[in-house]
Amino acid sequence: MRETRIDTRTISMSLLEAGEGPLVLFCHGFPEGKRAWRHQVAALAAAGYRAVAPDMRGYGGSDAPGREDQYTVVHAVGDMVVLLDALGEAQAAIVGHDWGATVAWQAALMRPDRFRAVVALGVPMMGLPPLPPSRIFPRSEEALFYTLYFNEPGLADAELARDPRRTLLKILSAASGEAGPRHPGDDTPNPFGMVRRGGGLLADLPEPAALPAWLPEAELDRMAAAFAASGFTGALNYYRNLDRNFELQQAMAGAKVAVPALFLVGERDTGLSIPGMAEIIAAMPDLVPDLRGSHVIPGAGHWLQQERPEAVTEALLAFLREVEG
């Protein structure tokens, strides 16, 4: 694997890449970076693919545009399209996790001519809600949903940047499969749940005694250094565009993902504790007619491709071979 940099029509992007062959593009989520896909980039290169994982806009070594409204899902899909052009590729299979899964789904929906297949980890394809997300997410006098907390300009930015290594360790540990089983309504610590007003995101997350078994200390140090340099504002700006995405995505209302698709989720993913998530996953075939599988990975948490790299790679390669021969 090698880390490179490439200029596109929109931003300059930092890439982790390896191999030659059909292109597979990997999109990371929050709060990670391109190296979250290090296991899959190496394995797919060995299997005869060209594997490329960029730092998404606002993250790591990629450019971070200055305006909040430059972080919509349309901007992110546009980055993937122009990345294909800069790489000299007509098409790619696109793989995403967390926010990257949302980008991957929307890329396949908007540009099936450029993205020949889609694999999503953790976040299912969902139809448009009846109202803007900010009017749906829960809040009370005592607490508010984490996405609403992230929407307060400067607030989460300062909290998370105070000690990036501690921030990452707390979030990664609390959403890991090692934190234990999760069920709708349970009180297992969840960085992607409710945040006490005045308390911040990190206050109620446990202080880990050790790193999760799947996270090497060197990788945590790399991530912490990247966020110490970039800050968290670019990453948080994705959340600050949820209502704007709702408006922009009306142009695709009723459209279905037409390309072959695969969905993977960890058995202990924090998202599965959201009421109604099981029904959303079960309803995906209505939105994704060529869904080839929806698999739950035992014991894994939210960071699926790092927690269970062999299982993810095996499922990914089997899917690609099925749809591409």
pLDDT band (50, 70, 90) for residue 189: confident
Which pLDDT value is given to residue 309?
98
pLDDT tens, residue by residue, 59-118? 999 999 999 999 999 999 999 999 999 999 999 999 999 999 999 999 999 999 999 999
Least confident of 33-42, 77-86, 164-173, 184-193: 184-193
Query: How many helices (H) and strands (E) would you count in the chain?
Result: 13, 10
Q: Estimate to the nearest angstrom the gap between the alpha carbon of 240 and the chain centroid.
A: 15
Six token digits for residue 59:
């993250």
Which pLDDT value is given to residue 261?
98
Which pLDDT value is given to residue 60?
97
CATH code (residue 280): 3.40.50.1820
**Which of 63, 79, 98, 269 is the catalytic position?**
98
Count up the domains in the chain and report the number: 1
pLDDT band (50, 70, 90) for residue 195: very high
Domain carrying residue 55: 2-324
Average pLDDT, the chain: 96
Ordered DSSP codes for 8-72: -SS-EEEEEEE--SSEEEEE--TT--GGGGHHHHHHHHHTT-EEEEEPPTTSTTS---SSGGG-S
The overall pTM is greater than 0.85: yes
Mean pLDDT of 241-268: 97
Which pLDDT value is given to residue 181?
84
Please enumerate in sequence order all residues whose Cβ is within 8 A of that of 129, keeping only pairs 6 or more positions apart, or say none.
136, 246
Known catalytic membership, residue 295: no
Mean pLDDT of 202-207: 94
pLDDT tens, residue by residue, 218-232? 999 999 999 999 999
pLDDT band (50, 70, 90) for residue 188: confident
Does 325 score more than 70 pLDDT? yes
Which pLDDT value is given to residue 50?
98
Q: How far apart are CA 280 and CA 286, in angstroms?
A: 10
pLDDT tens, residue by residue, 22-64? 999 999 999 999 999 999 999 999 999 999 999 999 999 999 9
Residue type, 56: M
Ordered DSSP codes for 256-282: ---S-EEEEEETT-GGGGSTTHHHHHH
Residue type, 34: K
Does 164 score more than 80 pLDDT? yes
Please enumerate in sequence order all residues whose Cβ is within 8 A of that of 92, keeping only pairs 6 or more positions apart, or say none.
22, 23, 24, 25, 52, 80, 84, 114, 115, 116
pLDDT band (50, 70, 90) for residue 183: confident
Known catalytic membership, residue 302: yes
Does 256 score more than 70 pLDDT? yes
Does 202 score more than 80 pLDDT? yes
Report in angstroms the alpha-carbon separations of 296 from 76, 236, 278, 300. Answer: 27, 28, 11, 9
Which pLDDT value is given to residue 88?
98
pLDDT band (50, 70, 90) for residue 185: low
